[in-house]
């Protein structure tokens, strides 16, 4: 079977072009560097602040229930893609080395203006 063709060999035609809100946005990569943010206008005039780079993380300590802002030293591993850790790209689920120890990132930094995480042993 050829891609984009019917069994009879005829072509499938697009019903319509994609609308502006259906188009994909630019891919945002959050790197380990000095904090850099960007403000985007979203649907309905709403504003989203996205992160492009950061070296700070808000860590929640489960034992005490308190949050602290600490520096990120290095990205140790990224379960989704091992090459991202080598490039110091910060994603959800990535394990980073901080002043307090190892921490796992629990939010999506490319969608939000800060990095959140929890300490792991």
CB 115: neighbour CB atoms within 10 A? 27
Average pLDDT over residues 93-114: 93
Residue 5 lies in a domain: no
What's the pLDDT at 10? Answer: 92
Residue 98 lies in a domain: yes
d(CA 33, CA 55): 5
Write the CATH number for 44. 3.10.290.70
Over residues 49-92, the pLDDT tens digits come to 999 999 999 998 788 888 999 999 999 999 999 899 999 999 99
Over residues 2-21, the pLDDT tens digits come to 788 898 989 988 889 999 88
**Total structural domains in the chain?**
1
Q: What is the model's pTM?
A: 0.77
Band of residue 1 on the pLDDT scale cut at 50, 70, 90: low
């Amino acid at each position: 079977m050829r891609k984009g063709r019917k069994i009879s060999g005829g072509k499938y035609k697009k019903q319509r072009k994609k609308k502006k809100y259906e188009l994909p946005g630019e891919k945002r990569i959050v790197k380990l560097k000095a904090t850099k943010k960007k403000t985007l206008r979203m649907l309905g005039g709403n504003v989203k602040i996205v992160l492009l780079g950061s070296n700070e993380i808000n860590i929640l300590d489960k034992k005490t229930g308190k949050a602290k802002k600490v520096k990120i030293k290095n990205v140790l591993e990224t379960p989704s893609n091992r090459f991202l850790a080598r490039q110091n790209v910060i994603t959800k689920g990535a394990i980073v080395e901080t002043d307090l120890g190892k921490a796992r990132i629990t939010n999506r930094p490319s969608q939000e203006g800060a990095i959140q995480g929890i300490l792991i042993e």
